[in-house]
Amino acid sequence: MNEPLAQRLRPKTLADVCGQQHLLAEGQVFRRTIESGRIPNMIFYGPSGTGKTTVARIIAENSGMTLHKLNGTSCGTGDIKAVLKDIGTLAGAGGILLYLDEIQYLNKKQQQSLLECIEDGSVTLIASTTENPYFYIYNALLSRCTVFEFKSLSAADVERGIRNALKKLSESESQPVVMDEDACAYLAESAGGDLRKALGCLDFVVTAAPVDGTGKHITLEMIQQVTRRTAMRYDRDGDDHYDIVSAYQKSMRGSDPNAALHYLARLLEAGDLPSACRRLMVCACEDVGLAYPQIIPIVKAAVDAANMVGLPEARLPLADAVLLVATSPKSNSAHDAINAAIADVQAGRTGPIPRQLQNKHFDGEDAAVKGQNYKYAHDYENHWVDQQYLPDLLKDVKYYTFGDNRAEQAARAYWAKIKGEDKL
C-alpha cells in the first residue's frame, strides 16, 4: 500500500509535534494533564493539518485504555453501540477511550448516544473537528468536554516538519534527500499553515526528484510546480471562509487599503467572486454610507462590471471599488438608525399612524377631530413645515444622529437653519 508521507512520518510523542506550543509546551496545563495519565473528555478544534489527529492518537496510544477509533464521515449509530458493548467486559477493564475524528459529521441522535457513558466515566471521549464546535456539536455533549483550539502552524513550524521529513526520507530512501534552502522556505510559506499539505507536496516531488552527486535533489522550481494553488486554506462553508470575508470587510471599515486588497486577493484566488462582491456592497452602505452617499452607485457599477466580465478580469473593477471604500470617509449613522427603528418595531413599539398621514379622506362619525389636516411640505417656505410624522407613542424618538463627517454636517447645518434650530 502506498501510504502517504504524512501518515508514515506521524509523530509518536508530544515532543515531536510541530507547533501548538500554547498546548504542548512544558508546563502548559494541557501537557501536564495528559502526562498525569488522567485523560478528560476533550474536543480538538482547528484547521486541517495542524496536529489534532496526531495529538489525539498519541494520547490514546499511551493511555493504557482500550482504544476504539471512529470517523464521523463513515460511522453510524451501530458503530458507536459496538464500542459501548465493551463497557463492563474484560476488554474494557482498563477503561475505554473512544477517538472520534470529524465529529461534526455525526447527527444529533448519534452524538446523544454518547452522553450517558461519558457522564458516568465508562467511556473517555477525544473528538476532533475542523468546524466550530459551538455550532456543530450538540450542546449537552459539548458541556461534558473541554474544547482546545489548535491554531494554524507558522511557517517556522511547517519548516521544522519538512526538515524532519527530509531526514527520515533520507533514511528510508537509502540515499540523501536534499532540498535547497529557498525551496524549503517556499514550501513552508506556501502550505498556509497546513503541515499535511506541505508533506503531500514533498512526497510528490521526492518521487520525481533527479539524482545527482548529493542524492535526490529538490529545487525551488520543482516545489513551485506543485504548490502554485496550494498556498491558501479555504472552505466556502467553513470557518476559513467566514474569517476571510470578516477580515475583508473589517479592513475596508478600518480604512486599511493594503489589508483590504490582501483579503480581496484571497477571495478571488479561491474563485469566490460572490462573497467579494456582496461584502463590498455591504461595506459601502454600512461603513461609508452618508459620509459619501455617491459611493453606493459607484460600487454597484463596479460589482456589475466584475460580474459581467468574470474572473480574472473582475479583479480590476473590484480593486478600484475596494480602494475607494477603504480610503473614503466613514459613517455608520444610517446603520445605527435603522437598527434602532427595527428594534422598536420588533418590541411592539408602534401605535396608530397619525391621522394626517393616513391614506383616507373620510372620518367616521365617532372621530373627535374631522379632516385629514395634512400639511403639504411643498406649499411652505423651504419646502418644510413642522408637523408630527411618528405615531404618538414614539413622537419624540430620535433614531438618526448626524455623523461627524463633512457631508452629514453640511446636511445638519442646512436643516438647523431651515428649522430655526441654529438660533436656539
Tens digit of each residue's pLDDT (9 = 90 or more) over 168-179: 888 777 778 889
Q: Would you say the C-alpha torsion 187, 193, 197, 202 has a positive or negative sign?
A: positive
Same domain for 144 and 74: yes
Domain containing residue 131: 20-149
Query: Does the pLDDT value for residue 34 go beyond 50?
Result: yes
- For the stretch 258-288, pLDDT in tens is 999 999 998 888 778 888 999 999 999 999 9
Same domain for 133 and 41: yes
Same domain for 76 and 115: yes
Is 389 within a domain? yes
Q: Are 166 and 63 in contact (CB under 8 A)?
A: no
Same domain for 111 and 41: yes
Pairing outcome for strands 211-212 and 215-218? antiparallel
Same domain for 323 and 416: no
- For the stretch 378-393, pLDDT in tens is 988 999 899 988 999 9
Return the pLDDT at 239.
Answer: 53
Put simply, whether the predicted model's pTM sits higher than 0.75 gets the answer: no
Same domain for 94 and 135: yes
The CATH number of the domain holding residue 396 is 1.10.3710.10
Q: Are 152 and 192 in contact (CB under 8 A)?
A: yes
Report the C-alpha gap between 308 and 284 in whole angstroms: 20
Q: Are 55 and 131 in contact (CB under 8 A)?
A: no
Same domain for 145 and 24: yes
Same domain for 215 and 314: no
Q: Would you say the C-alpha torsion 245, 246, 249, 250 has a positive or negative sign?
A: negative
Is 361 within a domain? yes
Confidence of residue 365 (pLDDT cuts 50, 70, 90): low
Is 131 within a domain? yes
Report the C-alpha gap between 356 and 407 in whole angstroms: 32
Final residue in a domain of this structure, among 123, 149, 175:
149
Return the pLDDT at 424.
Answer: 41
Return the pLDDT at 372.
Answer: 66
Report the C-alpha gap between 255 and 250 in whole angstroms: 9
Same domain for 360 and 319: no
140's grid cell: 449537552
Same domain for 360 and 320: no
Ramachandran angles phi, psi of 340, nearest 5°: -65, -40
Is 350 within a domain? no
Is 55 within a domain? yes
Query: Does the pLDDT value for residue 236 go beyond 60?
Result: no
Is 68 within a domain? yes
Final residue in a domain of this structure, among 327, 345, 377:
327
Average predicted confidence (pLDDT) for the chain:
85
Return the pLDDT at 371.
Answer: 57
DSSP summary character for residue 152: P
Range of lowest pLDDT (276-285, 362-371, 403-412): 362-371
Query: Does the pLDDT value for residue 357 go beyond 50?
Result: yes
- Helix 155-172 to helix 195-208 angle (10° resolution) is 40
Is 337 within a domain? no
The CATH number of the domain holding residue 195 is 1.10.8.60
Helices (H), 48-146: 52-61, 77-84, 108-112, 115-119, 133-136, 139-142
Is 240 within a domain? no
Return the pLDDT at 332.
Answer: 94
The continuous run of DSSP H or E covering 223 comes out as: helix 220-227
Same domain for 139 and 34: yes
- For the stretch 193-206, pLDDT in tens is 788 888 888 888 88
Return the pLDDT at 326.
Answer: 95
Q: Peptide bond preceding 176: is omega within 30 degrees of 0, i.e. cis?
A: no
303-336: string of b/e by CB count within 10 Å (b at 16+)?
bebbeeeeeeebbebbbbbbbbbbebbbbbbbeb
Same domain for 119 and 44: yes
How many domains does the chain contain in total?
A: 4
Q: Would you say the C-alpha torsion 337, 340, 346, 349 has a positive or negative sign?
A: negative
Final residue in a domain of this structure, among 107, 129, 149:
149
Report the C-alpha gap between 289 and 331 in whole angstroms: 6
Length of the chain, in residues: 424
Report the C-alpha gap between 107 and 238 in whole angstroms: 17
The CATH number of the domain holding residue 66 is 3.40.50.300
Query: Does the pLDDT value for residue 370 go beyond 70?
Result: no
